[in-house]
Structure 1
Amino acid sequence: MRKFEGEEVVVSRDEISFTGSHNLENILSAIAIASLYRLEREAVREALLEFKGLPHRCEPVARIRGVDFINDSKATNEGAVKSCLESIVQPIILIMGGKDKGANFFYLRNAIKERVKRVILLGEAKRVIKAQLNTICPLSEVENMRDAVTEAFNKAQKGDCVLLSPACASFDQFKNYEERGEVFKEEVRKLDS
Structure 2
Amino acid sequence: MIPDDPSRAEPGLEAGSLKDRHALVLGLGRYGGGLETTRFLVGEGAQVRVADSGSPEALAEPAQAVRDLGAEVVFGPQEPALLKGIDLVVASPAIPFEHPLLLEATRRGLPVTTETNFVVARVTAPVLGITGTKGKSTTTALVTSMLRATGRRVHQGGNIGRPLVAELDRIGPGDLVVLELSSFQLWWTRRIQRSPNVTLVTNLFPEHLDRHGRLEHYARAKRAALDFQRPDDVAVLPADDAAVREADWLTAGQGRRLLWGTGGKVVLDGDEVVGPFGRASLEGMQLFGAHNRRNALAAAAAVSALLDQPVLAMERGARDTQPLPHRLQPVHDEGGVLFVDDSNSTHPEAAMAALRSFDRPIVLIAGGKDKGADRTALLDAIRKQTRAVVAIGTTGPELAAALGDHPVTVIPGSMAEAVEAARGLARPGDVVLLSPAFSSLDQYASYAVRGDAFREAAAASPKAC
Match of 2:363 in 1: 93
Match for residue 458 of structure 2 among 185, 188, 192: 188
Shift in Å, 1:109: 2.4
Question: Contact (CA 8 Å) 1:72, 1:163: kept in 2 or not?
Answer: yes
Q: Give the match's secondary structure for 1:191.
A: coil
Matched, 1:18 2:309: no
Deviations 1:20-72 (A, max 9, x none): 23211111122223333124533332211110122111111121110011111
Shift in Å, 1:168: 1.5
What is the letter of the counterpart of residue 55 of structure 1? Answer: P
What are the residue-to-residue correspondences of 1:1-193 with 2, within 5 Å? Answer: 1-3=272-274, 7-12=278-283, 15-36=284-305, 37-135=307-405, 137-142=406-411, 143-191=413-461
Question: Contact (CA 8 Å) 2:332, 2:340: kept in 1 or not?
Answer: yes
Give distance in 1, aligned partners of 2:419 and 2:275: 44
Shift in alpha-carbon separation, 1:157–1:42, aligned structure 2, 3 A: same
Shift in alpha-carbon separation, 1:4–1:99, aligned structure 2, 3 A: closer
Give distance in 2, aligned partners of 1:39 and 1:191: 51
Q: Give the match's secondary structure for 1:69.
A: strand
Question: Contact (CA 8 Å) 2:277, 2:304: kept in 1 or not?
Answer: no
Q: Give the match's secondary structure for 1:18.
A: coil
The higher-RCO structure (CA 8 Å, 6+ apart) is 1
Shift in Å, 1:125: 1.3
Shift in alpha-carbon separation, 1:33–1:98, aligned structure 2, 3 A: closer
Question: Contact (CA 8 Å) 1:100, 1:169: kept in 2 or not?
Answer: yes
Question: Contact (CA 8 Å) 1:106, 1:132: kept in 2 or not?
Answer: no
Shift in Å, 1:156: 0.5
Deviations 1:118-165 (A, max 9, x none): 000111111111121123x20001121001111111110110000001
Unaligned runs of 5+ in 2: 1-271
Give distance in 2, aligned partners of 1:102 and 1:5: 40
Stretch deviating more after TM superposition (78-87 or 38-47): 38-47
Shift in Å, 1:103: 4.0
Give distance in 2, aligned partners of 1:106 and 1:138: 18
Shift in Å, 1:92: 0.4
Give distance in 2, aligned partners of 1:140 and 1:78: 19
Q: Give the match's secondary structure for 2:281.
A: coil
Shift in Å, 1:191: 3.1
Question: Contact (CA 8 Å) 1:4, 1:41: kept in 2 or not?
Answer: no
Give distance in 1, aligned partners of 2:350 and 2:279: 32
Give distance in 2, aligned partners of 1:64 and 1:152: 13
Give distance in 2, aligned partners of 1:39 and 1:184: 42
Deviations 1:160-186 (A, max 9, x none): 000001112111211111100011111
What is the letter of the counterpart of residue 24 of structure 1? Answer: R
Structure 1 or 2, whichever has the larger Rg, is 2
Stretch deviating more after TM superposition (60-69 or 31-40): 31-40
Give distance in 1, aligned partners of 2:321 and 2:313: 12
Question: Contact (CA 8 Å) 2:280, 2:315: kept in 1 or not?
Answer: no
Shift in alpha-carbon separation, 1:115–1:34, aligned structure 2, 3 A: same
Q: Give the match's secondary structure for 1:110.
A: helix
Give distance in 2, aligned partners of 1:25 and 1:120: 29
Unaligned runs of 5+ in 1: none
Task: Please provide the CA RMSD for this pair.
Answer: 1.9
**Percent of pairs with identical residues:** 34
What is the letter of the counterpart of residue 273 of structure 2? Answer: R
Question: Contact (CA 8 Å) 1:4, 1:10: kept in 2 or not?
Answer: no
Deviations 1:96-115 (A, max 9, x none): 11223334333212211221
